[in-house]
Amino acid sequence: MNTAAEPFVRLRNLNVTFTGGRKPVQAVNGVSLDLRQGEVVALIGESGSGKSVTMRTLLRLHPPRRSQVTGEVRVAGRDVLALSDRELADYRGKMVSMIFQEPLLALDPVYPVGAQIVESIRRHENVSKAEAHARALALFERVRIPSPERRLQAYPHEMSGGMRQRAMIALALACKPQVLLADEPTTALDATVQIQILLLLRELQRDLGLSVLFVTHDIGAAVEVADRIAVMYAGRIVEEGTARELIRTPRHPYTVALLKSRAHGALAKGARLETIAGAPPDLAALPPGCAFAARCGLAESACLQSRPEPVTLAPGHLARCLRTDAVAALAPVAVG
């Protein structure tokens, strides 16, 4: 891991509220997170915990009239929330790029994939068609698409799921971004292809010095690829640390519950985190205390009164919990 002194991506006290419905929905609530150059950080948590919304602020993808975003979003020193539309168009793809669970969200079904990559390069850079084509070919080789020259002519529907995922990654890398956002990139794939794509992401991060923010439900996938993991619950980061710290010394009861569901094999079989009893709170009516208290076997009355501030357990290892000592005293979770 290549760590520069200043984080390349810096989120500070980020709040995202959706205002289009009957009541405002506070999807992200005071999130602070750093991503250094060449680092892979995974955001994990149940559905609806705010992972994708947090990630999407880095591309400013929120509906402007139906959402309110406050706090600081900085990438390479630039204030992303203050970019003009023109600056934003240049920044997207060139500085920060995104891949999705479903490649057909990124790939146009009516054009061959190669043409889409050439088009994307030429939209951002003043290069000839031949040069853009050569770069597209190099990208297909880089993401290990076999017979790359021939496959550049293929339409997305002519590719298998794993191949389409690789093609989307090639498209995302077309303009040499420095940050890659990956939103559940492997969820729809079968297990062997998932592992290949995760390994590819790790290799790209290493070879190109990319910073990667990776959203997943699957703590196993997070451990596989991430240097650091941030666990989200009800719009907040409840624990953050290295992958090793989170697995060996989790200090938030929710992280422990996530690890247990993995230890029971539930995630391995593709089941999700519903193995934790109860449901997350309504984001339009968050409780005054810890949002996890209603599902937490260790909760005391203090937990219901005010939201816990982060406790520093080691440099870079934080948990928002009043009962970290009680969590530490729990029997360790056997995670394979």
Report if residue 221 touches ligand ATP, rule: CB under 6 A: no
**CB-CB contact of 106 with 172 (8 Å):** yes
Contacting ligand ATP (CB under 6 A), which of 17, 31, 39, 51? 51
**Closest C-alpha to 154, from 331, 248, 146:** 146
**50 near ligand ATP, judged by CB under 6 A:** yes
How near is the Cβ of 127 to ligand ATP at its closest, in Å?
36
Pick the piece of the chain touching ligand ATP (CB under 6 A) from 4-12, 42-50, 194-202, 290-298.
Answer: 42-50
In the complex, the smallest distance separating the C-beta of residue 325 from ligand ATP, rounded to whole angstroms, is 29
Q: How far is the CB of 134 from ligand ATP (least distance, A)?
A: 37
Least CB distance to ligand ATP at residue 188 (A): 13
Per CB under 6 A, 283 contacts ligand ATP: yes
Residue 317 DSSP SS3: strand
- By CB under 6 A, how many residues form the interface with ligand ATP? 15
Residue 35 backbone dihedrals phi, psi, to 5 degrees: -135, 120
Q: For ligand ATP, which is the closer residue by CB, 25 or 137?
A: 25
Q: Hey, how many other C-beta atoms are within 10 angstroms of the C-beta on 271? A: 13
Identity of residue 133: H
Strands of the chain (E only): list them.
9-18, 25-35, 40-44, 67-75, 78-79, 96-99, 179-183, 211-216, 228-233, 236-242, 311-314, 317-319
Per 3-state DSSP, what percentage of the chain is helix, strand, and coil (rounded to 5)? 40, 20, 40
Candidates 11, 25, 75, 237: give the one binding ligand ATP (CB under 6 A): 25
Contact by Cβ (8 Å): 245, 329 = no
- When asked if residue 31 is in the footprint of ligand ATP (CB under 6 A), the reply is no
> Which position has the token pair 């794509």?
197
Among 7, 30, 48, 220, binds ligand ATP (CB under 6 A): 48
Q: Which of residues 115-174 bind ligand ATP (CB under 6 A)?
A: none
Q: Which stretch binds ligand ATP (CB under 6 A): 18-26, 114-122, 244-252, 288-296?
A: 18-26
Least Cβ distance, residue 51 to ligand ATP (angstroms): 4
Report the nearest approach of ligand ATP to the CB of residue 252 (Å).
Answer: 16
Rg (CA), the chain: 20
Task: Give the single-character DSSP code of 293.
Answer: G
- What are the residues binding ligand ATP (CB under 6 A)? 18, 20, 25, 27, 45, 47-53, 63, 217, 283
